[in-house]
Structure 1
Amino acid sequence: MALTADVKAELMRMRDPRPAARVAEVTTILRFAGGLHSIAGRMAVEAELDSEALARRVARDLVELYGVRPELAVVQGSGGRNGGTGYVVRVIDGGETLARQTGLLDQRRRPVRGLPNRLTTGSRPDLAAIWRGAFLAAGSLTDPGRSAALEISCPSSEAAMALVGAAHRIGIASKAREVRGVPRVVVREGEAIRESLLEMGAATTAEEWDQLRQRREVRAGVNRLVNFDDANLRRSAQAAVAACARVERALEILGDGVPGHLREAGDLRLAHRDASLDELGHHADPPLTKDAVAGRIRRLLAMADKKAEQDGIPGTESAVPLGADD
């Protein structure tokens, strides 16, 4: 919630002086935070917002752009959009005229299901204003990570598709989906989230979010390497324990019948338990290649297992401690 509040606070500080962008923003807020209602037989336009500052901004824009006089009301408890206090901006006198002017009503007096076409086909700043209004009305941003997302809850699937179309025109990769019956537009990829914030006008939050994302990615990469190294060391240690246990059992089974060169390889393995095959070869006199050492130990174990089978006694595998060969 802290990130969401930071984005909204920064977006509210941004004031695009162009009337077309202001119209796109406030119309989108009205569409995504409320809509059209009939009150005492008259059509009313209203929006329920989670911030008093945003409600006052919307009311001021309606006065300056359309000359209407909105009512401001507080909705307590469960009436709020987020289960807390909500702030309602409502226009009753001149509501139908406002709905027509904003494009929330079409020429046949039918409510627009998506967004007014003249908004979604506007200029790049107008499309950015649409996204800014949608986020202010119903947006959220989560921390960077696997489930990082910039999401906007939409009043209808048509509104969601209109928002996706606007995003596509300004180069933002977004998808419309339905979560628990609520249409949403979601931006998930890290760079796309950063670009979305920049386009809307939240440059400071975009930079902070991206720095946090990069730090977490570096930390995750380090953790993966550490875990990988730990796993390799653990497997190497288990393999060394298993190899030494089998060699000890092989020498025990064969006794004095061990050929000299195979005994030498076995003794090297037991004398240098943590050494690699290549290192064992360097300890031999004369030095051996790692393939020669591996071959001699392999033949030592095979010879011992064959004799154990003939004698009806446990072979070299029986000496491996439980879990050492995992």
Structure 2
Amino acid sequence: MSFSGEVKEELMKHTPPARHCQLAELASILHFCGSHTAAEGSNNLQNEEKKSIFNGEKLLIQAENEAVIRKCFTLLKKTFNINTSVNEKRVGKSGKAGAGTGAKPRAYEIELTDPSQIKQVLQATKFMDGEGHLRDMKAPVSAILIKNSCCQRAFLRGAFLASGSMSDPGKSYHLEIVCTNLFQAEQIQSILLAFEVEARIVQRKKYQVVYMKDGTGISDFLNIVEAHVSLMNFENFRIVKEMRNSVNRRVNCETANIGKTVSASTRQAEDILLLQQKYGFENLPESLREMAEVRLAYPDAPLRELGEYLDPPVGKSGVNHRLRKLGELADKVRSQQGIKS
């Protein structure tokens, strides 16, 4: 199972105890996966006829991920004591050749056909008012349902279950929730911002996608939706990844420093040999002559160690100063004798 699937499986098993949070999560799933079909000719029926005559009205919740439908089944049972069945069906085009049997992908659905149950669910989730007027289920969810932070957590949990995904944190950091319109996306972005989590919106074909690529933001999101086991697993990936990156940076830095040290040491040895041949050590001041002899004797030694070989010992800055003087003198000799560097 993918990491995204593991997160959804954990969220499916987490049901908030409070009814208002259950309604917020159910509204979120309906918002992304639900559709309502009115009864044919229902506008022409009298109130009493509406109660007694069923003519095709249904509330359908459909998703490719079984965890979403199982969670919806649980919420309907706990919140409204509605017992229903989960149906499996094949949807869309058949799979590509070589991808198994080539059968059409599976989808799972819950279908409510009892008008009283449909009305009860839609009114509780604020998709229908007290007079029976329906709201667009793809429009932003009623602010009344998500006024509390606990309900906002539940709403985000339902949104990720219904339309979210994330990449394997061992490879990259990416979490997204796919929305059918900009209003959906902006509502999710606004709720995340209330938790001090920044997310961006990008258009992908006909969809609006709310996404995060920051490890800290994704970690915060998992904490908000109360996927605590997935959060710990995600943090383990982050620790290993950041440690590996830290080690790589340190190795690269040390490799670069070694390269610089070797290059400087080679340059210093070349300068000193030039002075020995073209200028003569006997013409050097005593401090520079001693420094030149020590550098030739210990070509690989670092500056601090070179200073310990001098009499009296000299610190790192003193050694660096003397070597720089030798280098300047070598450049002067080259210039005077027309020697190329």
Matched, 1:184 2:206: no
Which residue of the partner structure matches residue 12 of structure 1? 12
Relative to structure 1, the CA distance from residue 66 to residue 116 in structure 2 (aligned partners, 3 Å threshold; closer, same or farther) is farther
Root-mean-square deviation (CA, aligned residues, Å) is 3.5
CA pair 260-58 structure 1, distance change in 2 beyond 3 A: closer
Partner in structure 2 of residue 248 of structure 1: 273
Query: How far off its partner does 1:256 sit?
Result: 7.0
Q: Tell me which of 77, 87, 90 is aligned to 1:72.
A: 87
Counterpart of 2:44?
A: none
CA contact 1:31–1:104 (8 Å) conserved in 2: no
**Kept after mapping to 2: 8 A contact 1:39/1:92:** no
What residue in structure 1 maps to residue 65 of structure 2?
51
Partners of 1:174 and 1:188 within 8 A in 2: no
Judging changes above 3 Å, is the alpha-carbon distance between structure 1 residues 298 and 258 closer, same or farther for their aligned structure 2 residues? farther
The residue aligned with 2:338 is 312
Q: In structure 2, do the counterparts of structure 1 residues 256 and 7 end up closer, same or farther at CA, with 3 Å as the change threshold?
A: closer
Q: Does 1:114 align with 2:140?
A: yes
SS in 2 for 1:16: coil
Matches within 5 A, 1:142-157: 142-144=167-169, 147-157=172-182
Q: Which runs of 5+ in 1 are unaligned?
A: 318-326
Match for residue 250 of structure 2?
225
TM-score (norm 2): 0.75
After superposing the two structures, state which structure 1 stretch, 295-304 or 262-271, moved more. Answer: 295-304
Distance 1:48 1:247, change over 3 A: farther
How far is the alpha carbon of 1:130 from its aligned partner?
Answer: 0.8
Secondary structure in 2 matching 1:23 = helix
Question: Using the alignment, how far apart are the partners of 2:270 and 2:90 within structure 1?
Answer: 75
1:87 aligned counterpart, secondary structure? strand
Shift of 1:5: 1.1
Q: Post-superposition shift, 1:194?
A: 3.4
Q: Deviations over 1:274-297 (max 9, x none)?
A: 223343333234444555544444
What code does the residue aligned with 1:74 have? K
Q: TM-score, normalised by structure 1?
A: 0.78
Query: Which residue number in structure 2 is paired with residue 85 of structure 1?
Result: 106
257-266 or 238-247, larger mean C-alpha shift: 257-266
TM superposition shift of 1:180: 1.9
CA drift at 1:133: 0.9
1:125 deviates by 2.8
> Does structure 2 conserve the Cα–Cα contact (< 8 Å) formed by 1:244 and 1:270?
yes
Rounded to whole Å, the distance in 2 between the matches of 1:175 and 1:286 is 63
- C-alpha change, 1:302 and 1:130, in structure 2 (3 Å) is closer
- Whether contact under 8 Å (1:142, 1:149) holds in the other structure is yes
Shift of 1:119: 1.4
Select which of 268, 274, 284 maps to 2:294.
268
2:99: which partner in 1?
none
In 2 relative to 1, CA 236–65 (structure 1 residues): closer, same or farther, beyond 3 Å? same
Query: Where in structure 2 are there 5+ consecutive unaligned residues?
Result: 42-55, 96-103
Conserved? CA contact 2:127–2:134, under 8 Å: no
Change in 2 beyond 3 A, CA 1:137/1:53:
closer
| Inter-CA distance 68–294: structure 2 relative to 1 (3 Å threshold) | closer
Per the alignment, residue 104 of structure 1 pairs with: 127
Q: Residue 199 of structure 2 is aligned with which of 152, 163, 175? A: 175
Quick one: which amino acid aligns to residue 281 of structure 1? G
